[in-house]
Chain A
Amino acid sequence: DARVTQTPRDKVTEMGQEVTMRCQPILGHNTVFWYRQTMMQGLELLAYFRNRAPLDDSGMPKDRFSAEMPDATLATLKIQPSEPRDSAVYFCASGLFGTVSKAFFGQGTRLTVV
């Protein structure tokens, strides 16, 4: 079964450190999303890409977050410097939007910033 793969599954880091989360979308999917989930805010859209081009990253704190797709098999989300309020589960999802239009989610990266 094709699936979205995220690494790492869990990450504990100290405040001020750089964090990089990786996502391998499903081969052939043209749209990739990054979401953050917390109990308070639910599932927030941080950024998304179509055919590797960033379409919208207005959901991200610009000064510390960055999202890229260096190639079709890898999407990255970086936080530098990390803060305790960044603690959350970060999900990557991919889909073939424009046709089937449903998103397939990875298992998430649980980030704890202490």
Chain B
Amino acid sequence: SQKIEQNSEALNIQEGKTATLTCNYTNYSPAYLQWYRQDPGRGPVFLLLIRENEKEKRKERLKVTFDTTLKQSLFHITASQPADSATYLCALQVDYKLSFGAGTTVTVRA
């Protein structure tokens, strides 16, 4: 069956450090992998998209890698700030279907 698995544990890090989140998938051949941020009581907000033929994508302090052989994406938040505290969701797109992992909650301590 198809699965999308993210870090099961919440991540607590010190301000200024790098947070690294993992997204693993099985039985998918996604054309795109996306990352979203969700704050409490709100809908997810798109952050980054990486295509299957791309290895790495950067946007400001965010970096995403995509390894289709390992079936894994890593999401990095560098120089983390308390404002980065949120739940981060990975999503796989196959054709028009967008399926999400359960998310990883990140808390950045000042």
Contact = CB atoms under 8 A, between A and B. Distances in A.
Contacts, number: 56
Interface string B78-90: 0000000000010
A101 B97 CA distance: 10
B98 A33 contact: yes
Interface residues of B, number: 20
B97 A45 contact: yes
A57 B105 CA distance: 29
A34 B46 CA distance: 16
Interface stretch (A11-19, A79-87, A103-111): A103-111
Interface stretch (B10-18, B37-45, B52-60, B69-77): B37-45
Q: Is chain B's interface secondary structure helix, strand, loop, or mixed overall?
A: strand
A102 B96 contact: no
B99 A103 contact: no
Q: Closest 10 interchain pairs by CB?
A: A105-B43, A42-B102, A43-B100, A102-B46, A97-B96, A105-B44, A50-B96, A31-B96, A91-B43, A45-B99
Given A42-B102, A50-B96, A107-B42, 16 more contacts: A33-B98, A41-B102, A43-B44, A43-B102, A48-B97, A55-B97, A91-B43, A93-B43, A97-B93, A97-B96, A98-B96, A101-B49, A103-B34, A103-B36, A105-B43, A105-B45
